[in-house]
Amino acid sequence: MGSAASALDRLYGPRGWAGLGAVALALLVLVPLAALAPAGSAFHLSQYWVSLGGKIVCYAIVALAMDLVWGYAGILSLGHGLFFALGGYAMGMYLMRQIGLDGVYHSPLPDFMVFLDWKAYPWYWSLTQHFWYAAALVVLVPGLLALVFGWFAFRSRIKGVYFSIITQALTFAAMLLFFRNETGFGGNNGFTDFKRILGIPIATPQMRVALFALSAAALIGTLLLGRWLVTSKLGRVLAAIRDAEQRVMFCGYNTAHYKLFVWTLSAVLCGIAGALYVPQVGIINPSEMSPANSIEVAIWVAVGGRGSLVGAALGALLVNGAKSFFTQEFPDYWLYFLGLLFVLSTLFLPQGVVGALRRLRPQAARARS
């Protein structure tokens, strides 16, 4: 019993567990209760805010996945949007199969296939009408792509800016591929107009709340998994690789294996986030693979605090909250604000918001004494 308690203390500490419990209570209990409250109630939360919150929670999972490879292993990826989109497309294929005869053309094929005069599903759409198969694709497709790509990249000792450029080129090439109509993924329009998931209508408030709660649970699970990983021996080796990879190699460690593991795990987490994202926003198209989206993920982590899991999630919340405000009130100035935010955080907050809060804590303690 004592060893289990000490393990929990090492994992998070009393304050950390208290904070995590408060977040879990808010995300898994209070938000769903407010969303399901009567419309006239002062505690009612509209479906718009539930969907926006679910979208930001999915982004926070991507930020955590990015922080595992960049903040703790020193691998800057500019292609994580690809893994996110692949998970979304895998779930989107299942959702498109659930439309059935309710489409515009009343055909068992999706509307875009009917429009292009396709007569049958291509072979890679086989079994996508089954939820279990789509869930497997959500994990396997981004995971296998990351595994193959990482195997060649890390064995070739590609790192630094060269690795970042290659990942950006990979996601750009995938985006161009998915834009083509003949690939069978809806072209530039992608997948949309989803009707049901597991036989339940997506547009109902109950399903919206359920998807939000599931996303929140995934975020908390990702945070716990990441915390366990970075406090383990594996996490210490990754940190050593980040700071001095040559010395780690001289100590007899095969650094390529460690980097490949965390890289693949990060891609899988992004795929899960993409699968949760798609039914909540109601669309997935190749623009999610845009290199600009992957760069934005790096900005979330930098603003929140690289090398801090809580900071990465906080950065996703802050930047996307600001994005939601600016794109509504000042749509022409959002990109300028985003660039300014990144420059200012680099100059004045090199360790992000969390790093600044950590520096303020001892100053406040000295002021009280």
Distances in Å between the alpha carbon of 96 and those of 111, 186, 194?
A: 9, 11, 6
What is the structure's pLDDT at 369? 57
pLDDT of 48 strictly over 50: yes
What the block records as the tokens of 2 is 């004592």
Query: Does the pLDDT value for residue 2 go beyond 70?
Result: no
Judged by average pLDDT, the poorest of 3-7, 131-135, 176-180 is 3-7
Q: Which two tokens stand for residue 206?
A: 């109950």
CA 188 to chain centre: 22
Which residue, among 244, 238, 208, 242, has the nearest Cα to 226 in the 3D structure? 238
CA 354 – CA 360 distance, rounded (Å): 10
Reduced to 3 states (helix: H, G, I; strand: E, B; else coil), residue 110 is coil
Mean pLDDT across the chain, nearest whole number?
Answer: 88
Q: In the prediction, which pLDDT does 368 show? A: 59
- Where helices occur in the chain by DSSP H, the ranges are 2-11, 13-25, 31-36, 47-70, 80-97, 111-115, 131-155, 161-179, 205-231, 233-250, 255-281, 291-304, 309-329, 334-348, 352-368
In this model, does residue 33 exceed pLDDT 90?
no
Q: Scanning the structure block, which residue is given the tokens 């809580």?
A: 310
Q: Answer whether 95's CB lies under 8 Å from 284's CB.
A: no
pLDDT of res. 15: 64
Q: Which of 4-13, 173-182, 211-220, 224-233 has the lowest mean pLDDT?
A: 4-13
| pLDDT at 142 > cutoff 70 | yes
Q: pTM to 2 decimals?
A: 0.91
8: confidence class by pLDDT, cuts 50, 70, 90? very low
**Max CA distance (Å), the chain:** 77
pLDDT at residue 354, as a whole number:
83
**Sign of CA pseudo-dihedral 149, 150, 151, 157:** positive
How far apart CA 65 and CA 58 sit, in angstroms, is 11
More confident call, 222 vs 21 = 222
Q: Is residue 341 very low, low, confident or very high in pLDDT (cuts 50, 70, 90)?
A: confident
Q: In angstroms, rounded to a whole number, what is the distance separating the alpha carbons of residues 272 and 291?
A: 20
For residue 16, the surrounding DSSP H or E stretch is helix 13-25
**Above 90 in pLDDT, residue 347?**
no
Where are the chain's structural domains? 55-289
Which residue did the predictor score with more confidence, 279 or 358?
A: 279
- pLDDT tier, 5 (very low <50, low <70, confident <90, very high otherwise): very low
